[in-house]
Amino acid sequence: MQKGKKRSWAEPFKIKMVEPLKMTTREYRQKCAEEAGYNTFLLKSADVYIDLLTDSGTSAMSDRQWAGIMLGDEAYAGSRNFYNLEDAVRKFYSYKYIVPTHQGRGAEHILSTIMIKKDDYVPGNMYFTTTRLHQELAGGHFIDVIIDEAHDPNSEHPFKGNVDFDKLEDLRKKVGADKIPYVCIATCVNMAGGQPISMANLKKLREWSKEHNVPIIHDATRVAENAYFIKVREDEYKDKSIAEIVYEICSLTDGCTMSAKKDPMVNIGGFLAVNDKEIFDKARNMVVIYEGLHTYGGMAGRDMEALAIGIEESVQYDHIRARVGQVEYLGQKLLDEGIPIVMPTGGHAVFLNAREFLPHIDQDQFPAQALAAEIYIESGVRSMERGNVSKGRNPETGENYRPALELVRLTLPRRVYTQAHMDVTAEGIIDVYEKRENIKGLKFVYEPEYLRFFQARFEKIG
Ligand code: F0G
The best mutation among 190, 226, 265, 412 to test binding of ligand 1, ranked by most ligand atoms within 8 Å of the C-beta, falls on: 190
Shortest-distance atom of ligand 1 to CA 411? 19
> How confident is the model at residue 254, as a pLDDT?
98
User: How many residues appear in the chain?
Assistant: 462
Q: Measured between alpha carbons, how far is 384 from 372 in angstroms, rounded to an integer?
A: 6
Q: Measured between alpha carbons, how far is 310 from 306 in angstroms, rounded to an integer?
A: 6
Ligand 1 pocket check for 187: Cβ under 6 Å: no
Ligand 1 pocket check for 264: Cβ under 6 Å: no
Residue 1 scores a pLDDT above 60: no
Residue nearest to atom 20 of ligand 1 (CA): 54
> How confident is the model at residue 9, as a pLDDT?
80
Relative to beta strand 407-411, strand 384-386 is: antiparallel
What are the tens digits of pLDDT across the range 376-432? 999 999 999 999 999 999 988 999 999 999 999 999 999 999 999 999 999 999 999
Ligand 1 pocket check for 270: Cβ under 6 Å: yes
> How confident is the model at residue 6, as a pLDDT?
83
Ligand 1 pocket check for 58: Cβ under 6 Å: no
What are the tens digits of pLDDT across the range 224-253? 999 999 999 999 999 999 999 999 999 999
**Ordered structural domains, the chain, with CATH:** 26-55+317-460 (3.90.1150.10), 63-314 (3.40.640.10)
Specify the 3-state DSSP secondary structure of 101.
strand
pLDDT over 90 for what percent of the chain?
Answer: 97
**Helical (H) or strand (E) element with 457:** strand 457-460
Residue 149 scores a pLDDT above 70: yes
Q: Which residues pair with 143 in a beta bridge?
A: 123
> How confident is the model at residue 144, as a pLDDT?
98
Nearest residue to 145 (alpha-carbon basis) of 165, 159, 115: 165
CB 279 within 8 A of CB 260: no
From the CA atom positions of the chain, what is the Rg in Å?
A: 22
Shortest-distance atom of ligand 1 to CA 54? 19
What are the tens digits of pLDDT across the range 280-336? 999 999 999 999 999 999 999 999 999 999 999 999 999 999 999 999 999 999 999
Residues 6+ apart with CB under 8 A from 266: 57, 59, 61, 65, 260, 303, 306, 307, 310
pLDDT over 70 for what percent of the chain?
Answer: 99
Active site residues: 76, 128-129, 219, 262, 386, 453
Average pLDDT of 173-187?
98
Q: Measured between alpha carbons, how far is 101 from 176 in angstroms, rounded to an integer?
A: 32
Average pLDDT of 323-350?
97
Ligand 1 pocket check for 186: Cβ under 6 Å: yes
> How confident is the model at residue 7, as a pLDDT?
84
Shortest-distance atom of ligand 1 to CA 130? 10
Expressed in angstroms and rounded, the spacing between residue 219 Cα and the centre of ligand 1 is 9
Shortest-distance atom of ligand 1 to CA 260? 13
Q: Residue 341 class from Cβ within 10 Å (0-12 exposed, 13-18 middle, 19+ buried)?
A: buried
Beta-strand ranges (E) seen in 245-355 are 255-259, 270-274, 349-353
Expressed in angstroms and rounded, the spacing between residue 130 Cα and the centre of ligand 1 is 7
**Helical (H) or strand (E) element with 186:** strand 183-186
> How confident is the model at residue 3, as a pLDDT?
65
> How confident is the model at residue 2, as a pLDDT?
57
> How confident is the model at residue 253, as a pLDDT?
98
CB 233 within 8 A of CB 346: no
Ligand 1 pocket check for 261: Cβ under 6 Å: yes
Q: Measured between alpha carbons, how far is 296 from 81 in angstroms, rounded to an integer?
A: 9
The best mutation among 53, 54, 130 to test binding of ligand 1, ranked by most ligand atoms within 8 Å of the C-beta, falls on: 130
Ligand 1 pocket check for 105: Cβ under 6 Å: yes
Residues 6+ apart with CB under 8 A from 272: 98, 99, 101, 107, 110, 111, 255, 256, 257, 258, 283
Residue nearest to atom 18 of ligand 1 (CA): 56
Ligand 1 pocket check for 348: Cβ under 6 Å: no
Average pLDDT of 146-173?
98
CB 355 within 8 A of CB 21: no
- For 256, half-sphere exposure in the C-beta direction (CA atoms, 13 angstrom radius) is 30
Average pLDDT of 79-104?
98
Task: For residue 393, give the DSSP letter.
Answer: B
Band (pLDDT 50/70/90 cuts) for residue 165 is very high
Chain-wide mean pLDDT for the chain? 97
Residue nearest to atom 21 of ligand 1 (CA): 104
Residue nearest to atom 10 of ligand 1 (CA): 104
Residue nearest to atom 15 of ligand 1 (CA): 56
Ligand 1 pocket check for 130: Cβ under 6 Å: yes
> How confident is the model at residue 313, as a pLDDT?
98
What are the tens digits of pLDDT across the range 6-25? 888 889 999 999 999 999 99
Residue nearest to atom 8 of ligand 1 (CA): 104
Q: Measured between alpha carbons, how far is 407 from 133 in angstroms, rounded to an integer?
A: 20
Ligand 1 pocket check for 413: Cβ under 6 Å: no
Band (pLDDT 50/70/90 cuts) for residue 117 is very high
